[in-house]
Amino acid sequence: MPTPNDHPTRRVHVEINGQAVVRDVECRKHLTDFLREDCGLKGSHLGCEHGVCGACTVRVDGQIVRGCLVLAAQADGCRIETVETETPSPRLKALQDAFIEHNALQCGYCTPGMLMAALDLVERRPHAGREEVRAWISGNYCRCTGYHAIVDAVCAVLAQQQAGRFSDAALLEAAK
Amino acid sequence: MKSSAFDYVRAESPQHALALLAQHGDDARILAGGQTLLASLNLRLSQPTLLIDIGGLAGWRGIALQGAVLRIGALTRHVEVEESPLVALHAPLLAQAAPHIAHRAIRNMGTVGGSLAYADPAAEWPACVLALDATLVIHGAAGERRVAAADFFQGLYTTALQEGELLAAVEMPLLQPGERHAFAELSRRHGDYAVAGLAARARWDGHTLHGLRLAFLSLGDRPLRARAAEALLQAGPLDDSRIAAADAALRAELQPFADLTHSAAAKTQMAATLMRRAVRTLCT
Amino acid sequence: MNHPTDLPTRRDLGADLPAVTEDQRHIGVAIPREGTRRLTEGRGQFIDDIELPRMAHVAFWRSPVAHMRITRIERSAAQALPGVIAVVTGPEIAALCKPWVATLAHLAGIKSAPQYPLAMDRATWQGEAVVAVVAETRARAEDALALLEIEWEDLPAVLDTQTALDPATPLIHPELGDNLCFERQLDTGGVDEAVARADAVIFGETYVFGRHTGVTLEPRCQIADWNPGDQKLTVHHSFQAPHMMQDLYCRQFGLQEQQVRVLCRDVGGSFGIKVHAYPDDFATVALSIMLKRPVKFVADRIESFVSDIHAREHRIDAKIVATRAGEILAFEIDDLTGIGPFSMFPRTSGIEGNQVVNLTGGPYKHKAYRARLRVVFQNKTPTCQYRGVGHPIACAVTEALVDGMAMKLGRDPIDFRQQNVIPDDAYPATGASGIKLELLSHEACLREARRLCDYDTLRAEQATLRKTGVYRGIGVAALIELTNPSAAFYGVGGARIASQDGATLRLEPSGALTVMSSVGEQGQGAEAIFAQIAADAVGVDIGRVRIVTGDTDATPYGGGTWASRGAGIGGEAVLQAGRVLRENILATAEAILQRDRQELRVFRGAVVDARSGAVLLELAELGRIAYFRSDTLPKTFTPELMVTRHYAQRDYPFIFTNGVQVSHVEVDTDTGFVRLLKHWAIEDCGRVINPMLVDEQMRGAIVQGIGGALFEECLYDTDGTLRNGNMADYLVPMAAEMPDIVVGHVQSPTRSSMLGAKGAGEAGTAGAPGAVMNAINDALAPFGVRLSSQPITPEKILRALGKI
């Protein structure tokens, strides 16, 4: 444990991937450092810490945000979701499968943030075409893939969704 | 980079926020969406000792029709403007501009008020509210005052906001019959700050433009109305020679700064191109 | 279009070539990498994910100016901050770590100056580390950085390659005599004669390439863990070549090889940025030794921009000579390239320019070539090998000259290339620069590129659209790319960088297969293709194969990942070891079953009757007996179910690959903006182990090349400070501007190995800048203007068009 210091702290109550978590955290600490250092969740990554690369993208109260541009203190009382969830939604699972099938990840460093952005699109823009997918993920830097395979993977899941894969009936059937 | 240490408090009311500001002065910063502030803190570009989070002031959030204006609370997130049916109906310029603001994750947090108060000349909202002849609603210890957009943006990152004042809302006149809006920007990558951008608005009666507003972003130290070009373009029926004259006038009145890779001349060329294309859109 | 582009229409290229194993079912097939599932669940193990007991964090005070003499370092306030463990300067580190000089014997005349982990009395580039602050958290260390009081005297900075060698320019290292790191001249003779011919046509141009950098999403990072209890150093490193660093740590710190272990787990992108030995690496190790506890260094993005190696700053005067009839006779280049104040350790900063000399003109039949190279020091961030290493430059220059000549002669660019590339049946061949070419397929790739992009349709559409003021361009680039290097690359120069690699394959008691390889994984899929090769070589299902890489304690000794060698060299070692293991399994089966091994085969996890195919012995059963029931085996027989084989490519200095790329663009002539409509790449990397992985290497590499062609440049102020060292102002390619990229394959296997695989990691980067620049120039041909300076920005296009 680091030396106790005189920097202001705040007690933060959050729900992370469905689990309640309480921590005392320095007020200056951003959400990504909080997840990584205080909660031991290393899935969110830092690539720039100035809000441009998207590697830190997570969901707070159902909306994707840059974890490096949100203070843990701001997230007090919020619901946080990352790809580390032990109960991925059907759409998230489908995206993870599609990413593997299309080799939409190489080193994997951008992948957690990219998946959160992609999940947001699949949920909110079911009719997106390739260009809209590209625009939507244009805030997530990937140096390895050149983006083509990522777009393929996301479009594949959109197509599955169009075909009814995530309808209530389909999910019930799949759960049997 | 990790920011230097600061304390954090959630303002319970506008008065509370103002009182804290008065108490701490330059050592405090207002935290709304934080998308600009937190990046600069992470870079240690400034080192306040207190952040006053006004994100919870529900009264300053929301989009509503109020008589002849569309009122957008300062704490309204960019994404809320982007997806608002009221905005789409009454101030479509904002709906056209919103997708250009950074990326979805930023738009989910960043606020209209934050963008207007920061007054980055490359930002979308300042040019839009200028084009719409909006009114900025400012809240201070002495109460509320209103400032026209044309008077609000006073210089680089400088607005009419005084110390101890906060932006509470922005009020837009509603879209009139025959009024068109056109927003376009040129950026190297989707979501980047524009190299040049234009928020345009006019009424088109089939042969002449009226009430034309051409508000450029990234062409100066603040959003700029191209008044000479506006005057020429709407002085009579629109034809190629009128557009050519306006193009020349625009090039003469613009004095942009160069940026890292684009000279002033390039920006002017781009601005002139945007204007021609916007005029076409406004007439279609 | 709302549907994904088709998964490669052919997901199995294995059948196109003679099989290299029995029952080959994985080699050549686009098998997805199940091993990456954990990365989709956020369960990677990147360096910053690792926490060790008493681990401390280091942050560096880096020079804010291009050149300074340090006059005062006051550290008491920083040291007094609670949570700060140590504040350390250059001389203190130098007591533990020797300086180094980055030269290689085979780059004749290359010179550089001794370099230390932390600056001693001078900092010679903005970003050079001067003081190390170690604290309990990174945030604390940064707080302490702010409390350091450091004074310096500004020194004149060398910032312009064109004046670096002028007598009036100050010397960065006076003891070296000038600011020249390396120079080379090559003249085959015949260039002047070609120029003098009556039917000679000459096209010349000056090409400028902007300095840029790799921007790996995971920054450079390591944890140095010196354990005084057993006097052992363990370094967890985000890195491409663990054995190289093991050797360097030993030599710089006076340790024995057996005292040092280097571990590379998940690497968040490397591309050559993480194959060099940085001063920061040595400083972090020194701190761990000094403080007797683990020390973690994670570069933040701002320091990455000024401390990661840069690359590709070149100014090249070039010309091409051809006959009126269209025969290319000669190329000539004069390359001036600017590096940092030191040649980078240990691979030197002379290699990139050296490769430009070697590779210019590469695809073509000409015999006459003249080249001059000057590599000059500057007070800017040091440069070194970055994906493609000279190839992107050489190809862009060559292909721009070829297009320029084609235009002058009124020839179609593809036809002109077809006339002049080395024919597919002319191998082995030697290029004009002396490069030895085993087997390339330029003609086949040009044909296939033309077909794949529907070239004639693109040309027809171009003509139609021009009439409406829409300017589209088609740019072609033929490229060669060196892969599978022999020791000629580094070893001959005295560098202890392995050009050989090894693989150990072990059959487990349960019939599973463990593969330990000295080539590691940085996302390109090395582990996946080793699994595919091993599964086929031995005869098991791929689901039973486990790969171990990136651990100098656990794998054979080898070179790691660089110069596109993983598949060709690492893969061959796996294949050879697998073949021998298969034989050993059969020998064991012979002993168990008491049947002649000629009657036996290993097939899909079992020993079977060679004739009938009947299963005689599951490998799990063979394993059980071999490991646990040696009492049942003949006393004369001992099972050897763990086999190691090594491989080095020794037939050629390099095994070259080739390819053709086509870029389709639209240029907005009013704004100067370029839209990338589409990109095609035909690549020949020999035997393709996994077509999907090759496609994805090509796509990623192409986008990286596009970055340099259109977007990326390190922009300097007149005082030598970087103006755009952040992610907002340094423009890396993002998804919205990138085109769909179609990849086609030609397979010309190399005969230097049984596997026949060449490398595929860098060809994309080699060809993309040339293809895109040619496309832009093709689009602007009606205006009679050409762009020859990269990155090609709207500013440059508007200027060329005379719009500003």
What's the CA gap between C256 and C386, in Å, rounded?
Answer: 30
A17 and A64 fall within a common domain: yes
Q: Which of chain C's residues have a Cβ under 8 Å away from the Cβ of A151?
A: 4, 735, 740
Q: To the nearest whole angstrom, how far is the Cα of C313 from the nearest Cα of chain B?
A: 17
Nearest to B189 among C301, C670, C737 (CB): C737
Q: How far apart are the first and last CA of chain A?
A: 47
**Contact: A143, C217; criterion CB under 8 Å:** yes
C692 in contact with A, Cβ within 8 Å: yes
Least confident range of B133-142, B244-253, C5-14 = C5-14
Q: Average the pLDDT over A129-147 and give the result.
A: 98
Whole-angstrom CA distances from A105 to B4, C38, C237, C266, C795 are: 35, 11, 21, 13, 34
Q: Where are the alpha helices (DSSP H) in C360-501?
A: 391-409, 413-420, 442-452, 455-466
Determine whether the interchain pair B189/C795 forms a contact, defined as Cβ–Cβ distance below 8 Å: no
pLDDT at position C1: 38
Nearest to C126 by CA among C712, C711, C715: C715
Instruction: Please give, one letter per residue, the 3-state secondary structure of C695-732.
Output: HHHHHHHHHHHHHHHHHCCCCECCCCCECCCCCCCCCC
* pLDDT averaged over 10-residue windows placed end to end, chain C, 804 residues: 54 91 96 96 98 98 98 98 97 98 96 98 98 97 98 98 98 98 98 98 98 98 98 98 97 98 97 97 98 98 98 98 98 98 98 98 98 98 97 98 98 98 98 98 98 98 98 98 94 93 98 97 95 98 97 96 94 98 98 97 98 97 98 97 98 97 98 98 97 97 98 98 98 98 97 97 97 98 98 98 97
Peptide bond into C653 cis (omega under 30): no
CB A105 to CB C523 under 8 A?
yes
- Give residue A131's domain range: 90-175
8 Å CB contact between C255 and C249: yes
Measured distance CA(B79)–CA(B84) in Å, rounded: 8
Q: Which chain C residues have a beta carbon less than 8 Å from that of B193?
A: 728
Who contacts C11 (Cβ-Cβ below 8 Å, separation ≥6)? Answer: C29, C30, C691, C692
C796 phi/psi in degrees, rounded to 5? -65, -35
B9 touches chain A (CB under 8 A): no
Q: Taking CB atoms and an 8 Å cutoff, what residues of chain C touch A88?
A: 41
Q: Angle between the C763-779 and C391-409 helix axes, to the nearest 10 degrees?
A: 30
Percent of chain C topping pLDDT 90:
98
Class of domain C500-647: alpha beta
Nearest to B214 by CA among B194, B234, B240: B234
Interface test with C, best of A148, A151, A157 (most C CBs within 10 A): A148
Radius of gyration of chain B (CA): 19
Q: What digits encode the pLDDT tens for the residues A44-88?
A: 999 999 999 999 999 999 999 999 999 999 999 999 999 999 999
Residues of A with CB under 8 A from a CB of B: 7-8, 10, 26-28, 30, 33, 49-51, 54, 57, 63-66, 68-71, 73-74, 117, 120, 135-136, 138-139
- Token digits for C706? 């596009």
Partner chains of C (3+ C-beta pairs under 8 Å): A, B
Residue among A42, A34, A105, A46 at smallest CA distance from C44? A42
**Do residue B193 and residue C728 have CB atoms under 8 angstroms apart?**
yes
For chain B, the domains span: 7-52, 63-173, 179-282
Whole-number Å distance between alpha carbons of C678 and C665: 7
pLDDT at B99 over 60: yes
Cβ partners under 8 Å of residue A28, min gap 6: A7, A71, B2, B3, B4, B5, B6, B41, C139
Q: Answer whether B106 sits within 8 Å of A139, measured CB to CB.
A: yes
Give the pLDDT confidence score for residue C10 in this predicted structure. 73
Count of positions (residues) in chain B: 284
Which CATH number applies to B179-282? 3.30.390.50
**Other CB atoms closer than 10 Å to residue C600's CB: what's the count?**
20
Tell me what the pLDDT averaged over chain B comes to: 97
Which residue of B lies nearest to C795 if distances are taken between CA atoms? B262
Residue with tokens 């000579």: C321
Tell whether A76 and A97 lie within a shared domain. Answer: no
What's the token pair of residue C52?
């060790």
- The architecture that CATH gives domain B63-173 is 2-Layer Sandwich (3.30)
Q: Among A10, A32, A37, A69, pick the best mutation site for testing chain B contact (most B Cβ within 10 A).
A: A69
Q: What average pLDDT does the segment B135-155 reach?
A: 97
Selecting from A8, A73, A138 the residue whose C-beta is nearest the C-beta of B103 gives A138
The domains spanning C47-155+217-270+273-307 and C500-647 adopt the same CATH topology? no
C368 residue type, one letter: A
* Chain B closest-CA separation from residue C143 CA (Å): 6
Name which of B36, B186, B262, B270 to mutate to probe chain C: the one with the most chain C Cβ atoms within 10 A of its Cβ.
B270
User: How far is C389 from C762, CA to CA, in rounded Å?
Assistant: 9
Minimal CA separation from C462 to chain B, in Å: 23
Chain B: give the shortest CA distance to residue A174, in Å: 32
**Shortest alpha-carbon distance between residue B81 and chain C (Å):** 23
Query: Which numeric CATH code is attached to C310-488+651-800?
Result: 3.30.365.10
| CATH number of domain containing A38 | 3.10.20.30
Yes or no, beta carbons of C33 and A100 under 8 Å apart: yes
Residue ranges per structural domain of chain C: 47-155+217-270+273-307, 310-488+651-800, 500-647
CA dihedral C97, C98, C102, C105 (to 10 degrees): -140
Give yes or no for a contact between C335 and C373, defined as CB atoms under 8 angstroms apart.
Answer: yes
**Shortest CA distance from B5: residue in chain A:** A28
Q: Which of A32, A47, A81 is the last residue in one of the domains?
A: A81
Tokens of B182: 């056109």
- Is the CB of A28 less than 8 angstroms away from the CB of B103? no
How far is C290 from C88, CA to CA, in rounded Å? 10
Contact at 8 Å (CB) between C600 and C616? yes
Q: How far apart are CA C587 and CA C598, in angstroms?
A: 10
Entry field: residues in chain C: 804
Asked whether A58 and A116 are in contact (CB, 8 A), the reply is yes
* Residues linked to residue C212 through DSSP beta bridges, in sequence order: C311
pLDDT in tens, B34-93: 999 999 999 999 999 999 999 999 999 999 999 999 999 999 999 999 999 999 999 999
What is the pLDDT at residue B278? 98
E-strand stretches of C577-723: 600-603, 606-609, 615-618, 642-648, 655-667, 674-684
The predicted structure's pLDDT at residue C51: 97
Q: Residue C52, Cβ neighbours under 10 Å: how many?
A: 14
pLDDT tens for each residue of C127-186: 999 999 999 999 999 999 999 999 999 999 999 999 999 999 999 999 999 999 999 999
Tally of domains within chain A: 2
pLDDT at position C2, please? 44
- Same domain flag for A26 and A96: no
Work out the minimum CA distance from C97 to partner chain B, whole angstroms.
28
**Do residues B147 and B160 make contact, with C-beta atoms less than 8 angstroms apart?**
yes
Say yes or no for a CB contact (<8 Å) between C2 and A134.
no
Residues C64-75 as b or e (16 or more Cβ within 10 Å = b): ebbbbebeebeb
Q: Which residue's structure tokens are 């209530």? A: A168
Burial zone of C349 (CB within 10 Å; 0-12 exposed, 13-18 middle, 19+ buried): buried
CB contact under 8 Å between C300 and B1, yes or no, is yes
Q: How many CB atoms lie within 10 A of CB A40?
A: 10
Of B3, B39, B102, the CB nearest to A139: B102
Mean pLDDT of the B10-21 span = 96
Name the 3-class secondary structure at A70: coil
The values of phi and psi at residue C81, to 5°, are: -65, 125
- Tell me how far apart the alpha carbons of residues C728 and C149 are, in angstroms, rounded to a whole number: 30
- Nearest chain B alpha carbon to C671: B270
C154 reaches A (C-beta below 8 A): no
Task: Describe the crossing of helices C571-593 and C619-628 by its angle, rounded to 10 degrees.
Answer: 80
Dihedrals φ, ψ of C347, to 5°?
-90, -5
Q: Mark yes or no for CB contact B99/A135 under 8 Å.
A: yes
How far is Cα C492 from Cα C484, in angstroms, rounded to an integer?
15
* A64/B41 CB distance under 8 A: no
Question: What is the CA angle C645-C646-C648, rounded to 5?
Answer: 155
In sequence order, what DSSP letters do the residues of A100-119 get, joined into one string? Answer: HHTT--SS-SSHHHHHHHHH
The Cβ of residue C702 has, within 10 Å, a number of other Cβ atoms equal to 31
Spatial distance between the Cα atoms of C406 and C186, rounded to a whole number of angstroms: 26
Q: What single-letter amino acid sits at A50?
A: H
Q: Does B102 touch chain C (CB under 8 A)?
A: no
H-type alpha helices, C467-568:
526-538
DSSP class of residue C738 equals: P
Q: Which residue of C has its CA nearest to A95?
A: C40
How far is CA C625 from its chain centroid? 45
Rounded to the nearest 5°, which phi and psi values hold at C200?
-80, 135
Partner B contacted by C717 (CB < 8 A): no
* Separation in Å, CA of C771 to nearest CA in chain A: 16
Cβ of A107 within 8 Å of Cβ of C692? The answer is no
How far apart are the CA of A161 and the nearest CA of chain B, in angstroms? 21
Shortest Cα–Cα distance, B82 to chain A (Å): 13
Query: Rounded distance, CA C460 to CA C258, Å?
Result: 66
> Of C213, C377, C209, C389, whose CA–CA distance to C310 is shortest?
C213
Residues of chain A with C-beta less than 8 angstroms from the C-beta of B39: 50-51, 69
Determine, yes or no, domain membership for A4.
Answer: no
Amino acid at C795: E
Nearest to C40 among A83, A133, A156 (CB): A83
- pLDDT category at A176 given cuts 50, 70, 90 is confident
Across the interface, of C36, C699, C734, the residue whose CB is closest to A108 is: C36
Do residues A16 and A80 make contact, with C-beta atoms less than 8 angstroms apart? yes
Q: ipTM greater than 0.95, yes or no?
A: yes
Q: Find, in chain B, the residue whose alpha carbon is nearest to that of C797.
A: B266
How is domain C47-155+217-270+273-307 classified at the CATH fold level? Aldehyde Oxidoreductase; domain 3 (3.90.1170)
Per the structure block, which two tokens stand in for C395?
């190809």
Closest-CA distance, B192 to chain C, in angstroms, reads 7
Contact between B195 and C724 using a beta-carbon 8 Å cutoff: no
Tokens 């050879």 label which residue? Answer: C576
Fold of B7-52: 3.30.43
